[in-house]
Structure 1
Amino acid sequence: MPAAPATLWTPFAHAVFRAIWVAGLVSNVGTWMQNVAGVWLVTTLTTSALLVALMQTATSLPAFLLSLPSGVLADLIDRRRLLLFTQAFMAVVAAVLGVLTLTGGISALAVLGFTFLLGMGSALNAPIWQTVVTELVPRPVLPFAITLNGVSNNIARAIGPAIGGLVIAYYSPGFVFLLNGLSFLGTWAVVYAWRRTPTAVAGPAENFIGALRAGMRYVQYSPALYGVLVRTFAFSFGASAMWALVSVVVARKLHLSSGHYGTMLSWLGAGAVAGAFLMGRAGSRLNFNQRVLLGGLAFVGTNVALALFTAVYWLYPVMFLSGIAWLMVMTSFSTTVQLNVPKWVQARVISIYMLVFQAGLSVGSLVWGELADRTTLTVALLGAAGWMLLSSGLALPFPMRSGENLNLDPAGHWPTPEVQGEVDPDDGPVVVMVEYLVAPQDWPAFRQAAELLTRLRLRDGALRAGVFADMAHPERITEFFYVATWGEHQRQHLRFTKEDQAIEAQVQQFHTGSVPPHVTHFLAFPKSINVEVPMPLQNLEAQQ
């Protein structure tokens, strides 16, 4: 019997995912309580709209600085241990901030500083947390697991600000910070109880710098990721106006209390939760490209409403619809990224995606906050709405490509190269040459297929790659690629996926030889100079 189709509830059938999801929900509630308390505390400690907007920057900037290194660490080091470290670090920072606030020894700049430290912990934690999901559920269930993670964050957004607002109103922001610290400790306990099976690492181990370059190179030569990254920055830059300035709208324009600010964010979170169920029922009717376009247009209306509406009760349904749009867009971005990358580089690519997203939030918060200080709040919000409207045109040149049907498991079909003697993984460089016999009438089609294969070589580790024809025998065509070390070439064998085999087969179908294309490996001759060195001037004069 065929397996029942996955639904939004299917991931909860996996016990470890269920436990970590609940722990994440509790931690997210604490984080949103912290956000409300921090922003409101700064709002009461200073009259500068720029300093209030910088709270968003203090949260986002660490992700801009640390996302990529944290993604590399998540691919190289045991993820469970990293999660234990990040949760403990954030618990300590939140506790210290709470104590200082309760004792009266806090300032607006100090709140920004502690928020930056929490942002550092979150930046180290986020790529690991997103990547862990792929270990807890099978690939067909992954889109629903990612959506549920978004639901967790938005349930927290719906109730966290309200709880935080009540604690602030009746007690002090310091108690909110202490509760957030306890939520991190709860997550730490659940992760500690998780007995993760370590992933077996095949081939030579990567070092940090090499792994960093490999992740950036993968994105550089993966067109499927271009659309996601461009659209992510455009959306987060425009949407940052809402996150950065909504507290200023409540406090300065509408002259309302922290309770109304928390309620506004609660409506936003409630909309996101409702959006998860709507996508579960009708999401298949819209592809990821259409979802992001629709969500961006919804945020045009959000920014216009925040700029022009003067009654808070009209803003509540606007924030509800904004929550639906936010979840729809963010899950589309995240799912597209995770479905288009193999496991060996997953955390690094996710970290690059998050870096671009947080860069948009950080720069956008700074731009719209500065514009609000120099002009008016209305001008800044209408400017953000105009940006969102213009950026909707990116749907045509940068469409998002679904990867649901991709098979990104290692192909494992390349034979082990014949080697005489022992070769150290750090020896190199290495040149690999593949010889084809191609009839002249097939050259145009072969060239197109070979260009795709060349991009795969560069994506998986080659520093240079190309295709050359023998001048004496033009039908003899040689593909070459140049790799820094023997170890890196061994990792290339493991990075080539079953999906890539289709492109390789397109190239090989033009080979007319009676035997398969001949592959030769060349290693830099021992103790030879592998870079061109100019001859000293005196040697040239002696030769003359």
Structure 2
Amino acid sequence: MPSSLGFARIFQVLGQRNYGLFTLGNSVSLIGTWMQRIASGWLAWTLTESAGWVGAVAFADLFPCMLIGPFAGAAADRWDRMKVMKLGQILGFAQALLLAVLYGLGGLTIWPLFLITLFNGFVTGGLQPFRLSITPRLVEKEWLNTAIAINSVTFNLARFVGPAAAGLMIAIGGMGVTFAINAVSFLAFVVTLNLVRLAPQRFAPSGQSFLKDIAVGLKHAVTMPGVNAIILQTVVSGICVRPVLELLPGWAAQAFNGSSGDFAALTSAFGVGAVLGGLWLAARQGARGLAGIVVWSNIGMCATLLGFAACTQVWMALPLAVLTGICLVSAAVAGQTLAQILVPDELRGRVLSVLGLVMRGSPAIGALLIGIASDHFGMRIPLVTGVAILLGVMLYYVIGFARFRALLEDRL
């Protein structure tokens, strides 16, 4: 019965008009985005056969958030979030269309691919604090836990559907068609955004200078007890183990001697696990216990990735990829939910921009570093080294777990 009631919450939240419309458009856009990521990653590999270049393209996609995130966070607490979201989708449409045209003309070599991905990285990084901070204006506070988990489910459903669709489209129409479909998906999100109505903003802008707002947001992010621990764990996980996802082309082709189909299968397996983890968290009622989920999910992810690194065939790695996806999303969604609940409304955009910054920026740094290391030492040794580092950090939180849980859950 509790499980049934938990899953009923998912449908109740999706049935709320504004959140349902936003989720529909967002899902379509995310599927297109994952199709482009798969096509771009595989194209980078086929053009260069270098894990370093694959990591560099992932770096271009993710790292700009590190540069623009604090400014975008301050802007999210000042500017009209809906108008900025619409502008971002139009810019995303433009870059996807350019990729499709260049590929069709035979001009999409590695450097144009890198530079266009870099531009899209700035657009996506700039939108992230707006996207994260818009959810509390789509649902009431008592539904926030479920809504954040559903956001993760839609992202990871796209991680599953997008690669499968990309593999089909690449086989049937080529990478140019894949890029073009992504362009259309951005326009679909613009249509649904025009139908969404946000709840009134509950606070006035600070009235301070832009730079002062940024400084206040950064200070709260790094000093707020509990939230700063979540950010630290996200950074270490992002740099040390999360890049396994960005480097899957290298794992499929080099470590497992596979094809683009194996690459899509691995990506989809991680996505299936991520969806299962997200659904489990969405069905939970209340935020109590999330601190334990953050810690033990990170440790579970380390265990499954050690098994993944030991695999020699794709079929052996697929179930471990599913388990890794469950642990990865459980830790991420639990941490983000706690941060969303604990951060005051007037600081939400700025503090969440820091969390978003490390969520996207640390895997970018990790993908570049681990990608270069993988060119020299193979795919397995850098991943095992990263797992060992994350396990060392998590051991600290296991030893001091009572204090960690109190910091996060006593104020709920």
TM-score (norm 2): 0.92
CA distance in 1, matches of 2:319, 2:125: 32
CA distance in 1, matches of 2:314, 2:222: 45
Mapped contact 1:27–1:180 kept (Cα < 8 A): yes
CA distance in 2, matches of 1:143, 1:356: 21
Amino acid in structure 2 at the alignment position of 1:247: P
Task: Give the 3-state SS of the residue equivalent to 2:77 in structure 1.
Answer: helix
Mapped contact 2:21–2:192 kept (Cα < 8 A): yes
Partner of 1:239: 241
How far is the alpha carbon of 1:168 from its aligned partner?
Answer: 1.2
Q: 1:98-177 counterparts in 2 under 5 A? A: 98-177=100-179
Cα offsets for 1:115-167 (capped at 9, x unmatched): 11111111111111111110011111101000000000011111110110111
Partner of 2:325: 323
CA shift in 2, pair 1:207/1:298, >3 Å = same
CA shift in 2, pair 1:124/1:285, >3 Å = closer
Mapped contact 1:295–1:326 kept (Cα < 8 A): yes
Partner of 2:306: 304
Partner of 1:412: none
Q: 1:58-77 counterparts in 2 under 5 A? A: 58-77=60-79
CA shift in 2, pair 1:202/1:274, >3 Å = closer
CA distance in 1, matches of 2:346, 2:276: 34
How far is the alpha carbon of 1:383 from its aligned partner?
Answer: 1.4
| The one of 398, 405, 408 aligned to 1:402 | 408
Partner of 2:384: 382
Partner of 2:261: 259
Amino acid in structure 1 at the alignment position of 2:43: L
Q: 1:70-469 counterparts in 2 under 5 A? A: 70-196=72-198, 199=201, 202=204, 205-280=207-282, 287-395=289-397, 396-397=399-400, 399=404, 401-402=407-408, 406=412
CA distance in 1, matches of 2:89, 2:400: 40
User: Percent identical across equivalent pairs?
Assistant: 25
CA distance in 2, matches of 1:240, 1:280: 22
Mapped contact 1:90–1:121 kept (Cα < 8 A): yes
Mapped contact 1:166–1:259 kept (Cα < 8 A): no
Q: Unpaired segments of 5 or more residues in structure 1?
A: 407-544
Please report the RMSD computed on the Cα atoms of aligned residues, expressed in angstroms: 2.2
Cα offsets for 1:58-80 (capped at 9, x unmatched): 11111111111111111101111
CA distance in 2, matches of 1:10, 1:403: 25
CA distance in 2, matches of 1:216, 1:373: 36
Cα offsets for 1:222-260 (capped at 9, x unmatched): 223221111111121222331232210111222221112
CA distance in 2, matches of 1:203, 1:135: 16
CA shift in 2, pair 1:171/1:255, >3 Å = farther
CA distance in 1, matches of 2:261, 2:58: 20
CA distance in 2, matches of 1:47, 1:336: 41
CA distance in 2, matches of 1:290, 1:204: 35
Task: Give the 3-state SS of the residue equivalent to 1:193 in structure 2.
Answer: coil
CA shift in 2, pair 1:219/1:203, >3 Å = closer
CA distance in 2, matches of 1:180, 1:191: 17
Cα offsets for 1:514-543 (capped at 9, x unmatched): xxxxxxxxxxxxxxxxxxxxxxxxxxxxxx
How far is the alpha carbon of 1:197 from its aligned partner?
Answer: 5.2
Mapped contact 1:235–1:391 kept (Cα < 8 A): no
TM-score (norm 1): 0.70
CA distance in 2, matches of 1:216, 1:203: 17
How far is the alpha carbon of 1:283 from its aligned partner?
Answer: 7.8
Larger RCO: 1 or 2 (CA < 8 Å, sep 6+):
2
Structure in which a larger fraction of residues adopt strand: 1
Q: Which moved more, 1:164-173 or 1:136-145?
A: 164-173
Structure in which a larger fraction of residues adopt helix: 2
How far is the alpha carbon of 1:181 from its aligned partner?
Answer: 1.0
Amino acid in structure 2 at the alignment position of 1:299: M
CA distance in 2, matches of 1:166, 1:209: 47
Task: Give the 3-state SS of the residue equivalent to 1:86 in structure 2.
Answer: helix
Q: Which moved more, 1:272-281 or 1:129-138?
A: 272-281
